[in-house]
Structure 1
Amino acid sequence: MSLRNKKLIQKFQDQQVVKVISGLNNFQVANIVKKVKAAEIGGASYIDIAANVNILKVVKSITKLPVCVSSIEPCELYKCYVAGADMVEIGNFDVFYSKGIYFSCKIIREIAKETISLIHDANVCITIPHYLLLNEQINLALELENIGIKFVQTEGMSTSSQHYHFDMGVVRKSITKASSALSSSYALSKHLSIPIIASSGIDLLSAPLAIYYGASAVGLGSSINSCWSVYSQAKYIIEVINSIYSSQKYKCTAMSSRKLKMYKINISLMKSIILSK
């Protein structure tokens, strides 16, 4: 793995990556900047934005976090990579589902091959569609790994289109929302040697489960959308990170002094935000 940002490599190996998804169909700069600030204060590993060169430049100018750009257009990914994106992701299929458009395995492979041919030295991630059967997801992921894809990401039904019974309960609701991502992560982890990013419906409760089931990273999108302020978003990100660390106590009984120091710095920054309001 040859990420432009070397610090991210170790986090993937330690299964401690938390990425913040600004919204892959979100082109509102003010909203994106807000989430970037929350991601940085909260200690997220990297930020995932729509593949737009102008937005990328704005984000790169305000943060040192690695930036991933997402699109299904290889040319857009290429332009962003040249402009400084640390990772590129072939994804955002879900915006087409409401229109009745679903991508076949053949089309996804073609998009992947074209992207790799344009930026063969990039770290390319690809989303595996949730509507495929698990054995189809595994076969597609193996083919993509063989042609040079460096990461795969899980996907589930859009959380905004799902409805839950009011008395379902917090834990049951959380697991239900993340069930597709969790099952795919578990199945894919048994066959792939590349990192898996569990995304779609992942929240504070399901994030450690995703890591336990074999994911190297989790993506937070819908779960932080209900947090309206930078402070509340950053606080939620910290809680997710701590939940993952706590679940890994069988590997490490306590945070390293470096991580503890960073945690205290993040808390201090959060307090300064509150006092400035």
Structure 2
Amino acid sequence: MSPAASLPTSLQRALEQRRLLKVIAGLANFDSASVARVARAAAAGGADLVDVACDPELVALAAAESGLPICVSAVDPELFPAAVAAGAAMVEIGNYDSFYPQGRLFDAAEVLELTRRTRQLLPEVTLSVTVPHTLPLDQQELLAIDLVDAGADWIQTEGGTSANPLSPGVQGLIEKASPTLAAAHVISRAVAVPVLCASGLSAVT
């Protein structure tokens, strides 16, 4: 059985219909009150999946508050098994937004190695991997292909922190989302797995 087949039916249906909405509490957000608010808001807003920091207690909290499947995010594969044991439906490497202000960057080789290690630890769990927006678009595309070959079931894009909108209002919101949308456009044509946009998105985009 493929990892994707183990996902809750609701997620499989959302993927088939290409309308999956994941609400992200934050890879570095370990504030339980904040995570609980995000989880409740995600459920009220019709989200399909809640993404929280990789902590077993947050998994249980978010699931109880939302009633939705939970994804956990981290950049340390060793953290994932405990969160899966606590009920996480899937795991995500990235995204990396919280690291960029610290000057921490992730290159293609490191992300590929994290993917391989995670797949070795959790061969039956759905694995999503974020492609760093700090790479040029052609390198993002090539990395996405390599990640899928290494066992990634989903690819996620990012880019909100690199965008510098020059316009106000709706146009500014579109400019803010352009890096992640551009990456999704390119990558979705290169791989045959689901591609999710993250970072810099709004109701407009």
Whether the TM-score (by the shorter chain) exceeds 0.5 is yes
Residue 193 of structure 1 aligns to a residue in which SS?
Answer: coil
Counterpart for residue 94 of structure 2 = 91
Counterpart for residue 10 of structure 2 = 7
Residue 3 of structure 1, CA deviation: 3.6
Deviations 1:242-264 (A, max 9, x none): xxxxxxxxxxxxxxxxxxxxxxx
Q: Distance in 1 between matches of 2:95 and 2:187?
A: 20
Residue 47 of structure 1 aligns to a residue in which SS?
Answer: strand
- State how many pairs are aligned: 202
Q: Distance in 2 between matches of 1:164 and 1:190?
A: 26
Residue 75 of structure 1, CA deviation: 1.1
Counterpart for residue 186 of structure 1 = 185
The answer to whether 1:115 aligns with 2:118 is yes
Counterpart for residue 78 of structure 2 = 75
Q: Distance in 2 between matches of 1:163 and 1:154?
A: 17
Contact 2:165–2:173 at 8 Å: present in 1 too?
Answer: no
Residue 49 of structure 1 aligns to a residue in which SS?
Answer: strand
Residue 175 of structure 2 aligns to a residue in which SS?
Answer: helix
Contact 2:22–2:51 at 8 Å: present in 1 too?
Answer: yes
The residue identity in structure 1 corresponding to 2:9 is K
Out of 104, 129, 136, the residue aligned to residue 133 of structure 1 is 136
Residue 158 of structure 1, CA deviation: 2.0
Residue 31 of structure 1, CA deviation: 1.2
Q: Distance in 2 between matches of 1:19 and 1:198?
A: 9
CA RMSD of aligned residues (A): 1.5
The answer to whether 1:55 aligns with 2:54 is no
The answer to whether 1:37 aligns with 2:36 is no
The residue identity in structure 1 corresponding to 2:32 is V
**Which consecutive unaligned segments of at least 5 residues does structure 2 have?**
none
Runs (4 or more) in structure 1 with deviation over 3 Å come to 162-165
The residue identity in structure 2 corresponding to 1:9 is Q
Residue 164 of structure 1, CA deviation: 4.5
The answer to whether 1:173 aligns with 2:176 is no
Q: Distance in 2 between matches of 1:3 and 1:155?
A: 26
Q: Distance in 2 between matches of 1:163 and 1:145?
A: 30
Q: More helix per residue: 1 or 2?
A: 1
The residue identity in structure 2 corresponding to 1:94 is D
Contact 2:160–2:201 at 8 Å: present in 1 too?
Answer: no
Deviations 1:132-160 (A, max 9, x none): 1111111111011112110010010427x
The residue identity in structure 2 corresponding to 1:155 is E
Q: Distance in 1 between matches of 2:51 and 2:58?
A: 11
Residue 99 of structure 1, CA deviation: 2.2
Contact 2:159–2:200 at 8 Å: present in 1 too?
Answer: yes
**Which consecutive unaligned segments of at least 5 residues does structure 1 have?**
207-277
The residue identity in structure 1 corresponding to 2:177 is A
Contact 2:176–2:201 at 8 Å: present in 1 too?
Answer: yes
Residues 139-218 of structure 1 aligned to structure 2 (within 5 Å)? 139-158=142-161, 164-165=165-166, 168-206=167-205
Deviations 1:96-124 (A, max 9, x none): 22222211211111110000000000000
- Structure 1 length as normaliser, TM-score? 0.70
Indicate the structure whose relative CO is greater, using CA pairs within 8 Å and at least 6 residues apart.
1
